[in-house]
Structures are given as structure tokens and as C-alpha cells.
Structure 1
Amino acid sequence: MGIELYALDSCPYCEKVHDALSEAGVDYETQWVDALHSERNEVKRVSGQRGVPVLVDDDRGVTMSESENILRYVDQTLA
């Protein structure tokens, strides 16, 4: 499955992660989520919480939230 990014359209933190993944040349799939937190059941299922962005790296068994953590992971692991 590779790398998936759970993101919300127009979310500035999600945009930063999108930009970092693109700049690093990482192939990934975006899972667009609902604006309502209460409707983000898939995000809750994979990460235990409903906030975005959430990065899932199936190849390395990593799931993480918080854009700063994800940006650091992209820079140190995926770039």
C-alpha cells in the first residue's frame, strides 16, 4: 500500500506535508477527509484520533500525526 496521507482540503498543515512529500519525490496517496471531526472515522481507526494530517507508511509500519513530526520524518526517512 505504501504511503497514505489523510488530509483536509485547505488545511495549511496538510499543505505543508503535501509540499514536503512532493519536494522529496515521495509517491503517496491522499485520503481526503470530511471537515467535521465527528465524520473522520477512518482517521480515528488508523491513528486513534481525528485530527489531520496523518501519515501512514505501511512499508515501515509507521503511523503519525502532527505536521511537524511528519515533516521531520519525511526529511530524515523518506527524502
Structure 2
Amino acid sequence: MALTLFHVDWCPDCEVVRDKLAELGVAYDDVIVPDVRPMRKQVYDVSGQYYVPVLQDGETVLTETHDILSHLETHYAKTSS
């Protein structure tokens, strides 16, 4: 299942999430949304709010940076045996 990250380029929290995805080597669909919150229809349709970052992983939608990072670590970090 593909991940989709909704974000803006200038957002520090969005950058943290993009860095984590890169660190983990996780492929994702990159959706850059408008800077003006009320114009972020895609984000609202997915999450019910206008703030970013928003990560969609199948049926799971995460809207808080801490929750996104935790989800990525839990589900995508490679574990060593």
C-alpha cells in the first residue's frame, strides 16, 4: 500500500517527516499542497482539517508529526535480529 504525504515545502514539521521517510527508505506519493490553508481541499478531504503534514497509509490517516514519526518507526523501520 502506497503512502501519501501531504505537505508544503517551507514547513519544518513537514521536513522532519520527509527526512524520516528518506532515512527509512520508504517510497511515498509526494503531494505539495497550497500555502493557504483554506485552499488545501485534498488535505481536508483526507483528514477533516487543513494543517500539514498529513500522512495517509492505506486507511490510516495521521495528522500530528509525533504520531506520523511513531507510525513510521513502528511499521517501516527495519529491525535487526
TM-score (norm 1): 0.93
Whichever of the two has the greater Rg, that structure is 2
User: Which stretches of structure 1, 4 residues or longer, exceed 4 Å deviation after superposition?
Assistant: none
Q: Per-residue displacement from partner, 1:7-26 (whole Å, max 9, x unpaired)? A: 01110000000000110110
Matched, 1:65 2:63: yes
Output the CA distance in 2 between the equivalents of 1:26 and 1:66. Answer: 19
SS in 1 for 2:55: strand
Output the CA distance in 2 between the equivalents of 1:78 and 1:54. Answer: 17
**What do you get for the CA RMSD once the two structures are aligned?**
0.9
SS in 1 for 2:75: helix
Output the CA distance in 1 between the equivalents of 2:19 and 2:46. Answer: 22
Q: Per-residue displacement from partner, 1:8-48 (whole Å, max 9, x unpaired)? A: 11100000000001101101011001000110011000001
TM-score (norm 2): 0.91
| Unmatched runs of 5 consecutive residues or more in structure 2 | none
Residue 74 of structure 2 is matched in structure 1 by 76
| Unmatched runs of 5 consecutive residues or more in structure 1 | none
Percent identity between matched residues is 39
Output the CA distance in 2 between the equivalents of 1:70 and 1:56. Answer: 9
SS in 1 for 2:61: strand
* Amino acid of the structure 2 residue aligned with 1:26: V
Aligned residues: 77
